[in-house]
Structure 1
Amino acid sequence: MASDHARQPPTRSGIKAPERCPHCNSTRLIKKGSRTKKLEAVAMMKCKACGRTFTPGPRALRNKTYPLTEILEAITTYNRGFSLAETSAQLSSRYGHKVSAATISRWLGQHPSLTTYSRLRSAGKRLYSPRQLIRTNKLYHRQVYEFAYHRAKLDLLRKGMLDPFIHRSSSDSFQKFADFIESIPSSCPHTLFKSEDGVRGSQLGNTFIDIASLEVIERQNAATETAALIIPGVGSNHERHSRLQRFMLANDAATIAVEVPIWLREVDIAALEAEHGIVLVPRQLRDPGHPAGGHVPRQVTGHIDFLQVRNGCLHILDYKPGARTNQPFAQLTLYALASHRRRRPQRPAWFWCSHPWVHSFKR
């Protein structure tokens, strides 16, 4: 009898062609046929600069029998609380070929730095079932945002078990932060985000920041390693952002929530401007011909890509594919100020995949 693998032709790999050669960094790449593996057909690329031929995708996962999407899904399914046997059964049913529990266990052991939630997994299982672990809400703002948070991590944060660097003096602030995250589905002023009158955080200029006083620091960490692993394996640009968010929320111990809405009303903006001696958003008169009529109430909205808690601080991460030329100082400073407004210690940073670095800055 023919095996399952023989009956099913290999699927085309969803890995996107790279922009540069992994050997010499040249952009002179051409397609060079394809390579048929056991479960997928992978495109081959050739660099006209160095003459080397290679398959696209993360270096750590090249020459693997199973497609990258299956490996990442197995890791995520297991860390959501399913057993190895349950994870094996789910993947085998979905993809039509056997994925053994031993194979999944080996994948988990090969990427410990990307699956730091594993040390909290047992505690999380005692708190929530796999299907209750992560709560997701779609926010219908000017576009659809998939806000999600990890319920077990928030509970462990409240108990002081998530981050050993959180001191007792700041534990109350983090408990309020956990309460804020859980309240977002009911407390978020959705009409504010839909209004055409407000300013988007990503549209703010750098006029209220002294760029010369900023210290930009380049680092490599779990966020950049995860992006370097996942982003090249996603064929659609539209899905890259959400795929990375879902993986980090389920597998990274520090990532608490994704696509977190942030809003500042007139009273918040005025208070921050008075406290820091800046002008976040210029005032506009209701009627330019009658200055005594006052100004239009200001409002700023935005969405934080990743919220993390580590080393005793709230870390604000933003994924910026084009950040080498479009550095988001104003946007991240706004998010930091909004967090500080609620008395939560924070550190803003951004990262991207083409040049896998985290850039954080001190104000």
Structure 2
Amino acid sequence: MRCSNINSNIKLKISEFQKLTKENNALKLCKLALCLAKKNNERHQKVEEFMLINDSATVAVEVPVFLFKKELENFNLKGLSDMNQTITGHIDIIQVRYNKIYVLDYKPQIEKEKNATIQVFLYTLALSKRTNINLENFVCGWFNDKYYYEFSPLDIINN
């Protein structure tokens, strides 16, 4: 099952996230990258490519991840206990900043997003599991050219 298709009982209000509306690098780079997209369906690829080439914090794009059902059960997360198959997906952007690993998802229509929280959280959980890097070293986030949201995956684990 793709992370982007998961409906979960895990819900956090947007107000619970650190919303950065100031001009941070992700927003600036996204705006520049979107100038290169001739069609709407090119936006994702252009943003990822542009950030990989022009941002020293961006270390990878389109990274495949997976999390087995048993691995997810080990986290004992309420709201995800009914998952009955392996979860898969691709992380749009991985950055390393301030000794943290940022797992980022580009969401062009961020205003309509309902599953970004759980999607990015599961990507982060999967990357943590595959690399054996502790969750405290990760930050989850999603953005477009106007808004940037981030949270610690521990906010969900401890919620």
Q: Report the CA distance shift for 1:270/1:246 in structure 2 as closer, same or farther (over 3 A).
A: same
* Mapped partners of 1:337, 1:358: distance in 2: 20
* Mapped partners of 2:29, 2:63: distance in 1: 20
**Structure 2 residue 157 is the aligned partner of structure 1 residue 346:** no
Q: Report the CA distance shift for 1:213/1:340 in structure 2 as closer, same or farther (over 3 A).
A: farther
Q: Report the CA distance shift for 1:323/1:206 in structure 2 as closer, same or farther (over 3 A).
A: farther
Pairing partner for 1:249 from 35, 52, 69: 52
Per-residue CA deviations over 1:20-44 (Å, capped at 9, x if unaligned) read xxxxxxxxxxxxxxxxxxxxxxxxx
Q: CA deviation at 1:279?
A: 4.2
Q: CA deviation at 1:261?
A: 0.6
Partner of 1:357: 147
| TM-score where L is the length of structure 2 | 0.81
Q: Report the CA distance shift for 1:226/1:326 in structure 2 as closer, same or farther (over 3 A).
A: same
Q: Report the CA distance shift for 1:247/1:212 in structure 2 as closer, same or farther (over 3 A).
A: closer
Q: CA deviation at 1:245?
A: 1.3
Pairing partner for 1:221 from 15, 24, 35: 24
Q: CA deviation at 1:339?
A: 2.9
Kept in 2, the 8 Å contact 1:348–1:361? The answer is yes
* Mapped partners of 2:108, 2:53: distance in 1: 22
Q: Report the CA distance shift for 1:338/1:214 in structure 2 as closer, same or farther (over 3 A).
A: farther
Partner of 1:324: 111
Kept in 1, the 8 Å contact 2:4–2:119? The answer is yes
* Mapped partners of 1:221, 1:205: distance in 2: 30
Q: Report the CA distance shift for 1:360/1:224 in structure 2 as closer, same or farther (over 3 A).
A: same
Asked which structure has the greater RCO (Cα within 8 Å, sep 6+), the reply is: 2
Identity of aligned residues (%): 32
Aligned residues: 146
* Mapped partners of 1:223, 1:334: distance in 2: 21
Kept in 2, the 8 Å contact 1:206–1:329? The answer is no
Q: CA deviation at 1:336?
A: 2.1
Please list every run of 5 or more consecutive structure 1 residues that lacks an aligned counterpart in the other structure. Answer: 1-198, 284-296
* Mapped partners of 1:214, 1:357: distance in 2: 13
Q: CA deviation at 1:212?
A: 5.0
Kept in 2, the 8 Å contact 1:351–1:357? The answer is yes
Pairing partner for 1:303 from 77, 86, 90: 90
Q: Where do 1:139-178 residues align within 5 Å?
A: none
| TM-score where L is the length of structure 1 | 0.38
Per-residue CA deviations over 1:55-84 (Å, capped at 9, x if unaligned) read xxxxxxxxxxxxxxxxxxxxxxxxxxxxxx
Q: CA deviation at 1:233?
A: 3.7
Per-residue CA deviations over 1:197-249 (Å, capped at 9, x if unaligned) read xx110011231x25259721222311110111121342112222112211211
Pairing partner for 1:282 from 67, 73, 82: 82
SS in 2 for 1:270: helix
* Mapped partners of 2:15, 2:74: distance in 1: 23
Kept in 2, the 8 Å contact 1:260–1:304? The answer is yes
Which has the greater radius of gyration? 1
| AA aligned opposite 1:349 | G
* Mapped partners of 1:278, 1:321: distance in 2: 29
RMSD: 2.1
Please list every run of 5 or more consecutive structure 2 residues that lacks an aligned counterpart in the other structure. Answer: none
Q: CA deviation at 1:361?
A: 2.3
Partner of 1:211: 12
Kept in 2, the 8 Å contact 1:214–1:361? The answer is no
Per-residue CA deviations over 1:139-194 (Å, capped at 9, x if unaligned) read xxxxxxxxxxxxxxxxxxxxxxxxxxxxxxxxxxxxxxxxxxxxxxxxxxxxxxxx
Kept in 2, the 8 Å contact 1:257–1:308? The answer is yes
